[in-house]
Structure formats: structure tokens, C-alpha cells
Chains A and B, each alone.
Chain A
Amino acid sequence: MTPYSSTLSSVLKDESRMEGKALWVSQPQSVGELLDSLKEAAEKGIDITVQGSRTGLAGGAVPAGGLALGLSKLKKSMEIKDGLLLASASVALGEAKVYLKRQRLVFAADPSEDEATLGGLFATGARGLKTEPFGRQVQELLWALPTGETLLARRGEACFDSTGIRIFNQSIKCPVPVKSRFPGVPFQGQDLIDFLSGSDGRLGIALNIKVKTFPKPKNSWAIAFFLKSEAQALSFAEAASDASREFLKALWIFDQNALSLLSKSRASLSGLKDIPEFPSDSDSAALAWLEGDDEEGIELAMSGLLDLFSESGGSESDTWAAEGIEAEKIAPLKHLAEEAANMELDKARLTSNAIRLSIENSYGSPIKAFRDLGESLVQGYRILSVLDGRIHARLFALQDPGKLVLGYALRALAEGGFFASDYGLGKAKRDMAIDLASPQEKECLMAIQQAFDPASSMSNRFFRAAL
């Protein structure tokens, strides 16, 4: 642990563009050093903010005073055994992907920020284009508790029931709901590993993970469908998501603002350099990802999609299709929208949390939620993952987007929706989550935090103060 100095100012920020404060900085190189830092901080009552590569979009890695504990220098290791990748949490996603690629393997989940650490992806509950969360594939986890002790969790060994969970030889008692509306609140039957994924560095630190890998599918396709209206795009999406479930692994809708943001960023985002102009007068777009080993089956599914597209009013000439390695040109459109949004913020020097929020919400029919959000958003954009109802939205230059989103979230929760875990709650969404939590949910949060982090060194900055 060294005292913070301005030479280290980069540790104060992450990709949410929020800025925090730190008194101490530590960048341990070994697990031993890391555990020592944890113990020292707990003894001295110093708050800890865990940091991976600080690429998070919700501000979870932004320190709030205390210690900024960076994991990126931790010794990295990777090994594949029986189809499982055993990796240290400090390994960057890009490094892991290259390592897997060499053996023609892939993760089932496909988060897209290559600089992010595996630990950070796990902790934020990250997902990518496809619906699968990264954490769901983790089979084994070596976890450092805020006290400096470690815990080995294996999938299937510990689950929540209605009264809590039994771990480290003690029972954590709390009224576990049947369904969880926030990451941080467990639900009945939830595996401990899934619960810890999405805990945002509040309950400890992922040190090593064992995660499933899969042979790269023989065929993969990315297809963009451009439509003249949002109504057409939504009707196509609704039909498509019902139709080709076997191969369709992702289906996203981009609203008009998302498309124009991408168009506008063409000159400055290198990922867009090889992408032609969107077909003229397209108002919305759907981006589909299909994969599988059965070539004929996929081709059939795609012909089916094309028919549905025409029925929804689309014209064949307004499609883009790319296969295999070429598909990697189109698939990042979703990731690029996030990057474009960040660039937009930088250009306008909008760094305050109040003007930018990401929400992930789904309720009832995702299409309905998407429409509702469209009605209430004046400036900003929406993209929607149709298959699992995740909506990503960015709000720009609004007076009080927080209020707007809160209003929307209330409505979503009232209709049975929940905060999807990807991106984590971070700081951007935590206050809203706490405001919206029921007494039962708060009781759960408290009990679990008390058990994992009795000294409140990792969670203090987070929920505790607010609860």
C-alpha cells in the first residue's frame, strides 16, 4: 500500500467517466501480497475499491476514498484442462480469447471489451452480444474474502434456499426471495457462484476462475437487417425470435439514434472504418448472430429470417450478411455503439454521472419495454437484446436523466421486470437500486454483507452507508 499521489491519477476513473478519490493505492503482484493488503486495510479500517482494467461502464471501479486495489499486475496464468480454462482473474479477455483461439475454442459468453479482466467480467456479470452471462460458465472460483481469507467455491456445492445459504461453515440467514430484481440480492436456488458474479467487488475478490470453453462452432453468421421504421423492426424481431431459436444466439434492435450515433462516429472509430454507410432512409436495424455446426440448418434458418424480414416490410437489398471471420466485422456494431457513446461524452466533456446512465431492464414483453422507454427518452439511444430482454440505453445532455431513468425503472419493476446484471450496478445504479429495494431485499443485502465483510471494508462505500 502506498499513499495516493497525483502521478497515479488514472486509478481514479473508469470507463463510466466518473471520477473518485483515493488515499492509498496498491497493485499487488502476487496473491500473497494481495491478501496482505486486504488484511492491512481491514485492520486499519480503510475502505477498499477493487479494480480490474477499469473498463467498467457503471463506475464500480471508481474509488470513494480509501484504497484503490488494482489487480492488473497480479501474476497471470492460463491453462486448459478437460475443456475448462483455469485462469487468474487478472488475465485480460483479449489475452484469453487469443489463447483459446489457438486451440479453436471459444467461451459461450462473448463480452466484447478485450481489455477487461476475467475477474472484472465475472464481478460485473458481464454479457455480450449473446445472452449468456460470463459468470454462468464459471465452474470453480477461488475467492478472497475482504478479511484476507480465501474460499473455494464449486458450482453445485452451495445454493441459496428460502432461508439463506450455508457457507464457510456458517449459515447466513435471510429471507431469500423467489426472484431477484437486483444483482446483490440472491434468489432461491441460486448457486453461490452465480450470486458472486455481479457482486461488483463488494463481497470479495475473484482470484482464479475455472470456466467452460467450447469448440468453435463450424458456422457463424452476423446479419444486419435495416428497416424503415421502429415498428417494422420490432415486428420483425418478435417474429424472428420465435422462429429460429436453435441457431439464433443473439438478436438486437438498434433505434434510430443508435444508428445515427454510429454514422456520426464513422470517421473517428476505427472499428467502423470497414463498415459502409447504412442503407439510406433506414430508421432502425436488427442485428442477428447465428451459429452451429449444421450448415444446412443454419442456411435454412437464415432463409426463414429473410422471409420474415420481407413480411415485416424489409427489402432484401437492405441486409448485410457475413460469415466466419467476416462476421467479426458486423458483430461489433453493438460494442461500437458503447464506444461511440463514450466518445460523444468526451467530445462534449460530459463527465458527470448525472448525464449518463446505462440501464438494463426487462419486463413483460421486452418489445413493450423498449417502446415505453422510447416514449420517455428524448435524447439518447436504445438498443435491445430481444432474446433476453436486455435494454441498453444512454442518455445524453439531459437535465436530470437520473430522475427519468428512475421513473422508468419504477415502472419496469412494477410490471415484474428486474435489473439485468450486465455492467454491474456500479455507482451509477446503486442508489437507484437501494431506493427501489424492498425491506426484505434490504435485509438480504445486509445479512450477506455482514457475513462476507464484517469489517465493511469493501462494502462500506457501497450499500452499507445507504442502507
Chain B
Amino acid sequence: MRIVVCVKQVPSMSAQMDPETGLLFRASAESAMNPLDFCAVEAGMQILKRHGGELIALSMGPQSAQETLRLAMALGAGRAILLSDKAFAGADAYVTAFTLSQAIKAIGNVDLVVCGLNTTDGDTAQVPFSLAAQLGWPSFGWVKLIELEPLAFVQEQTGTEARAEARLPMVIAVGRISPPRIPTLGAKLAAKRKPLEVWGLNDLPEKSPEFYGLRASPTRVKKIYATKRERKVLPLELGLNETVKILKGELSDPKAFIEPVIATPTQLPDWNGQAKSGSVLACLQADHRGLCLVSKEMASLLISLSQGRFETHGVFIGSDLPKPLEDELLALGLDCVHVCLDNDFKIFDARPFSEAALACVKALNPAVVLAGATPEGRALAPALAAHLRTGVTADCTGLSLSDNGELLQIRPAFGGDIMAQILTPQARPQIATVRLGAFSALESAKRSRTKIKRFQAPHSQVLPLQTLGHFEDEPAKDLVIAIGGGLRDKAAISLFEKLAEKANASLMCSRCLVERGWFDQSRQIGLSGRSVSPKLLVTFGISGSAQFLSGIKGAKRLVSINLDKDAPILDFADVPLVGDMREIAERCLEM
């Protein structure tokens, strides 16, 4: 079997930010292999060991990326190819995938491409799916387990776990599989001397520079800025009674929730209020429980973005439309939902699903297409975009739409340390995935207006898929209580369990309590844990590392209790309270 593993060199995270100014200092940042690409190499090596053949490491990047490729060779790759050419510089995800696809064609007879799921810098998670679509191959993402005989992959998606048998050639994108191997000393030393191929434009089948690099890229980063740390309120040192009173008020009075600022339509005042100038479309998604929350959020988002200037549409692809789901679609308040039903669409599969979505997009010609930043949406959008030769902005947390249908897309990158404003100046439609919980689902008053239209779409064969089971990923409740390192005594956890129960809240934690072995990782909030977007988040004894903060961006309101009035989290909190977590919790339970 000929396996290609795609590896990217990224700046190491540890040297990213100046803690004082919050600015990036790239110059001093060391480079490293993207963490999940270690898993990709590991997956490739395991498959190679069982099925034999050859493993080739492939990277596009500057000359310095040779280091990353040498590491891949030390880990077992027999051959390494660096795509490095001035013409390749500045590529977005679509063009990166195009360039890699050209190399894979040039290598020839490739059976399997293994990618990491996402990187720590661009973090679009689009390259593998775009690559598969551009090669015309099936893809299978979010792989968490590999079965070697017969070769099959298990993935985790929204609410389900699915298994696919390999249909080669194909592209897989792996998440965290078993900890990747570390090279042996002999292999490290030997890899230093192995030959490494550097390919330029002329080594690829498509030799015209206009297909490569920045100039071919549909998306453009307009602006990058560091996430600002703005103190909202000075920490409140109020004494126990007053603090407890405020906390109890927050826990019991839902009216106090502040709705987030949602999508903004721009240039609205000039609009004449008349004809609709086009349409906008959301790719809707359901699971075994019904319509996914992110679909409702996207529908509300489209309605408020368009402000009557654009028709709002949805597309739903599935195997059937039970009445409750139909009712949910009708209740979205969109102008029209296009439904494509086919027995093949029981389980999500990026290639055929994107082909069905393509049929809808071609018929409608929308200015904007949104998908949820779910595993499914993040695979569907780049595959769809590849068919349309357009770009995707990943994981948006802010959007604004002008009268002429230009979409300004705002997204976090580098693990949330920076925000990027992105435009898709030429290519259409403009495609974006939207972060779960970043926008609110609003109750729609216009439910009767929604039309449902059915359509059929030709599509490729689906992968041999099977659902392994559904899991309730226990969505965090509207109210989350999170505790952290300020908790010195394990026995005091029960106090917070009681408090959470009383307030009907989910109890979660920061990383250090998982490290102490006091909590299971599934309850950890943060970059290496879960993101939460409750209406109210109350933190106790959490100092607020950048990693933790990146997991709570979606929280609508933050109440933080900390003994240390200089704790960073108090800078972010809507209600920063200074006090002893244990004492406050005790008193809160008493009252």
C-alpha cells in the first residue's frame, strides 16, 4: 500500500504571545510539527506495519519545513517530499489542498492519504476534506480509532460514533489516536542523513502559477488582531454576605442574562427596503435527537444578517423527514428549506453529502452558504467549496453582511489567542462554518411562511458505513458551574456537587483538577477539553489561563469567584467577585 502522510510545520504554541502586550511575537517562535500530524504519522505507520508498502511524508512550506519532514522520516517515513516554491506562498486551505493534490497525482498510485484533523495555527480543519474532493476521493474525518484488519476507521461525530471500512483510494483525517511514538535515537540520527526531495512548481502536473499561492486563494485574511483583555468591571471585594447575595441572585434570576451581540448587517441605512438582491443558505443538520441546535442558531443568524434584504434558505440532506423534524424545519422561520432525501444519506459521508448540497447551491446561486462548525459541517463545507472553487472561513464567531452581499467573517485562530477578519473577495458563494453557541437561536415569529421544497441529487457511492451507537454527549446545561485549582481539598468537591444540583447546573472543571485526578477529562473546559456556551457560567477558584478562556468564549455571562483579585479571569468576568470559594459555596447552600 502506498500511503502519503501530510505534515505541516507550525509555530510552537509556547512562544506565541507576549503576556504583557498580548501580541504575537512570531520571530522568536520555534517551529514544530503540527501535533495531530504526529498522530497522522502514527496511523500511517500502524497501517504500514500491517499491510506493508511505502510511507511518504508530504509537506508544503518553506525550506525550514525540512526539519518536520526529517522528523517524519525518523518516525518511519521512507521518503519525504517538500513542496516549496515562491509560487506556493500564501495559500489558503483550498489552494493548499489543491497543491497537495497535485503532488499526490505526481507521486502516483497513492492508496491512502492520512492527514491530521487540524493544525494549531490556521486551524481550519479543511485541508483533508478539500483535498479529497479535489482528488475526487472519499474522505473520512475525525478518526479516533483505526482497525487494521480489515482496514476500517472509527470516527466520532455529533451524537454518534460511526465506522467505515476503507474504500481506497481515500483520505482520512485523524484526531488524537493513541499517543504517537517517539523516534528512537538511531532513527533520529539516520534521518539526518537521508535524502529529502524538494519539489517546485515544475514538478507538479499543473504548471501554471495562477493556480497556486495567494493569488489563487479565494479567502483573504484582511486583518489579524490579538484578543483583547479588557477589564469589564473592577473586582468586587464585598465581604461574604454581600457576595453570596449577588451570587444567589445570578443563579436564580435568568432575566439577568445579557444576550450576546449577534451578527450585524452592515450598510443597512442605505438600503431602499425593496427587492431582495439574492439569497443566503444554511446547511442544516439533524441527529438522532432531532434538529441540531447549531442549525437553529444558523437560521436565526441568516434572518438577522439578511434583514429582509436577502432570501433565507436552508438545505437538509438525510434519509427521511419524520414529522417532528419537519415541524422543526418549519419553525426555523427561513423563507424556504430544500430537502434532499435518499436512503444513502442515513449516515453523514462528506463526498455524497457535498454533492447533494452542490446541486442545491447550483440551483439557488446564493451569495453566502453557512454550515455548522460541527464535525459534519466542517467536512461538508470544504468539500462543497472544492466543487465550487471557492473558499471557506472556518469556525466563525462573528459575521456581517453588506447590501451587496459581501460577507465579513471573523474567526479565532492560534487556539483563540488571535482573531482574524477574513473576506472572500471574488469567489462565490462565500462559505463559512459557524461556531456552536457563538450566535443565539431566537424564537421565530414567522413559522408559517417557511416552504419546504424537495429535490433529488446525483451522488457518488457512499462509504460502507455503520453507526456504532449514539451517545448523549450530555450537553452542558444553560448554567455551568466550573471549579479549578483554588479547590485545595478534594473532599470539598461534594459541596460544589450539591450547589450544582441545587441550581440545576452542570459541574465542570479546569485542567488542573483533571491533572490531580479529581475529575474525568470529559468534564474539563478549555483548549484541551470542551468548549461550553451556557447562558451563565459561574467559576470558582479558576485563575483563567488562555487555554481555559478559549473554551468559554461562548458563555453569555460570566460570574467569577476568586481569592486573588489579580486573577486574569476577573478581568473577563461580567461579575468579578473576590472571596473564598469554599466559604461562599457553603454559605450559598445554607441560605
Q: Which residues from chain A sit less than 8 Å from chain B, CB to CB?
A: 6-10, 13, 73, 95, 98, 101-104, 223-224, 265, 267-270, 273-277, 299, 302-303, 305-306, 316-326, 328-330, 339, 343, 346-347, 349
Contact = CB atoms under 8 A, between A and B. Distances in A.
B98 to A, nearest CB: 30
Contact of B486 (A10, A98, A299, A347): A10
B188 A323 contact: yes
Given A270-B514, A325-B31, 14 more contacts: A6-B583, A9-B580, A9-B582, A10-B563, A13-B488, A267-B517, A268-B516, A319-B186, A320-B182, A321-B74, A321-B187, A322-B183, A324-B30, A343-B515
B514 A306 contact: no
**Which among A7, A306, A324, A346 has the greatest number of chain B C-beta atoms within 10 A?**
A7
B71 interface: yes
A111 B515 CA distance: 20
B185 interface: yes
B186 A322 contact: no
B182 A330 contact: yes
A275 B179 contact: yes
Contacts of A343: 515-517
Interface in B180-219: 180-189, 192
Contacts of B186: 306, 316, 319
Contacts of A329: 182
A275 B179 CA distance: 6
B570 to A, nearest CB: 14
Interface in B55-75: 67, 71, 74
Given A270-B514, A343-B517, A349-B490, A302 B580 contact: no
Interface in B140-192: 178-189, 192
Contacts of A224: 182
B184 A316 contact: yes
Contacts of B517: 265, 267-268, 343, 346-347
Contacts of A323: 188
Interface stretch (B11-19, B130-138, B261-269): B11-19
A306 B185 contact: yes
Contact of B185 (A102, A103, A265, A316): A316
B391 interface: no
Interface of B: 12, 14-15, 18-19, 25, 28, 30-33, 35, 38, 67, 71, 74, 178-189, 192, 240, 486, 488, 490, 511, 514-518, 528, 563, 566, 579-580, 582-583
28 contacts: A7-B580, A9-B488, A10-B563, A13-B488, A98-B15, A102-B25, A102-B28, A265-B517, A268-B517, A270-B515, A270-B528, A273-B179, A276-B178, A302-B189, A306-B189, A316-B185, A319-B185, A320-B182, A320-B184, A320-B185, A321-B182, A321-B184, A323-B188, A326-B32, A326-B71, A328-B14, A329-B182, A346-B516
B488 A10 contact: yes
A349 to B, nearest CB: 7
A277 B178 CA distance: 10
A79 to B, nearest CB: 13
A164 B238 CA distance: 53
A276 B583 contact: no
A124 to B, nearest CB: 21
Contacts of A269: 515
Contacts of A306: 185-186, 189
Contacts of A303: 189
A345 B549 CA distance: 29
Given A10-B488, A102-B18, A299-B189, A317 B182 contact: no
A339 B184 contact: no
A316 B25 CA distance: 39
A274 B37 CA distance: 12
Given A98-B19, A269-B515, A321 B183 contact: yes
A59 B183 CA distance: 39
Given A104-B28, A303-B189, A325-B30, A276 B182 contact: yes
A302 B187 CA distance: 12
Of all A-B residue pairs in the complex, the 4 with the closest CB atoms, nearest first, are A7-B580, A268-B517, A320-B182, A321-B185
A265 B516 CA distance: 9
A303 B189 CA distance: 8
- B18, B30, B185, most chain A CB atoms within 10 A: B185
B414 to A, nearest CB: 15
Contacts of A328: 14
B239 to A, nearest CB: 10
Contacts of B515: 268-270, 339, 343
A17 B67 CA distance: 43
A269 B528 CA distance: 12
A323 B70 CA distance: 11
Nearest to B74: A321
Nearest to B35: A274
Given A276-B179, A330-B182, A321 B514 contact: no
A318 B490 CA distance: 38
Nearest to B512: A270
Contacts of B580: 6-9
Contacts of B71: 326
Contacts of A339: 515
A95 B184 contact: no
Nearest to B33: A326
Contacts of A101: 14-15, 28
Nearest to A270: B515
Nearest to A271: B515
Contacts of A349: 490
Nearest to A19: B488
A411 to B, nearest CB: 35
A460 to B, nearest CB: 27
A397 to B, nearest CB: 17
A325 B10 CA distance: 12
A322 B511 contact: no
A332 to B, nearest CB: 12
Contacts of A273: 179, 528
A284 B184 CA distance: 17
Given A270-B511, A343-B516, A102 B15 contact: yes
A442 B442 CA distance: 76
Contacts of B518: 346
A219 B163 CA distance: 44
A299 B180 CA distance: 24
Nearest to B579: A7
Contact of B179 (A13, A73, A274, A321): A274
B182 A299 contact: no
A268 B514 CA distance: 6
Contacts of A320: 182-185
A6 B518 CA distance: 23
A302 B185 CA distance: 8
Contacts of B180: 274, 276
Contacts of B511: 270
A52 to B, nearest CB: 14
Contacts of A316: 184-186
Contacts of A275: 179, 182
B486 A321 contact: no
Contacts of B566: 73
A317 B183 CA distance: 9
